[in-house]
Amino acid sequence: MLHRLHRISALLISLYILGHLTNHLIALEGVQAHIAFMKSYRQIYRAALVEPLLLGCALFQVGSGITFIARRWGQRHGFFDRAQAISGGYLAFFLLFHVGAVLYGRTVPGLDTNFYFAAAGLHLGKFPLFFAPYYALAVTAYFTHVACGLRWLLRERLPPPLRDRAALGVMSLGLLLGVTIVATFSGAFYPVRIPAAYCFSGC
């Protein structure tokens, strides 16, 4: 039952994440394009009934995911089994850290947690050394976790070589998207100027 609830919760969160990643890729068109999409998208995920559901699912994913890792680590063998556990552990860390940071930014300093909130860490002193891999690995971990999960679910429908190649392809796509998003927010494709309100220690 816990595994089934974990999958249902993961599906709900994935619906949000796919929109969120689309939002970040739209940043390739410019900061204002990203912010405009986010304003429209927020009407969905910040709705009175939707946002608490997403936050509840995120907490459940962290708790259930850590439980699975602790219970089954010694039973995991092979690259994909361990990749699923490691990516799940990183996602648990990222969800707690990132969601906590966004909620803090919204409630304490009262910031609009938009493009600039995410990009600020990539423009502050030595913080990019943490935030660049932090964001890129989050996207890679998400696609890795999904790829490994689907590979297991399709174990009776597809031959092992095909499942392995498909999983590696999805994982590679995640890495590519993660690097692209970090590069965009870092100012690789156009200048990014962080407003003073987001520069806690100087940009």
Task: Report how many domains make up the chain.
Answer: 1
Lowest mean pLDDT among 28-42, 53-67, 74-88, 181-195: 74-88
Do 115 and 37 meet the contact criterion of CB atoms below 8 Å apart?
A: no
What is the predicted pLDDT for the residue at 2? 81
pLDDT in tens, 155-182: 888 898 999 999 999 999 999 999 999 9
Residue 52 lies in a domain: yes
pLDDT tens per residue across span 109-138: 999 999 999 999 999 889 999 999 999 999
- Asked whether residue 167 is domain-assigned, the answer is yes
- Asked if the structure places residue 203 within a domain, the reply is no
The pLDDT mean for the chain works out to: 93
Can you give the pLDDT at residue 57? 95
Domain assignment of residue 120, given as a range: 2-198
Spatial separation of the C-alpha atoms in residues 111 and 103, rounded to whole Å: 10
Query: From the centroid of its chain, how far is CA 193?
Result: 24
* Pairwise CA distance, residues 90 & 140, whole Å: 10
Count H helices, E strands: the chain?
7, 0
Which tens digit of pLDDT belongs to each residue from 178-202? 999 999 999 999 999 999 999 865 5
Beta-carbon contacts of 180 under 8 Å, excluding residues fewer than 6 positions away, are: 25, 28
* Cβ-contact 167, 125 below 8 angstroms: no
Give dist(CA 3, CA 159) in Å, integer. Answer: 24
Distance (Å, whole) CA 196 – CA 203: 8
Residue 141's nearest CA partner among 65, 202, 84 is 84
In this predicted structure, what is the pLDDT of residue 24?
98
Specify if 127 maps to a domain.
yes
Whether 166 is in a domain gets the answer yes
Structure tokens at 114: 């938009």
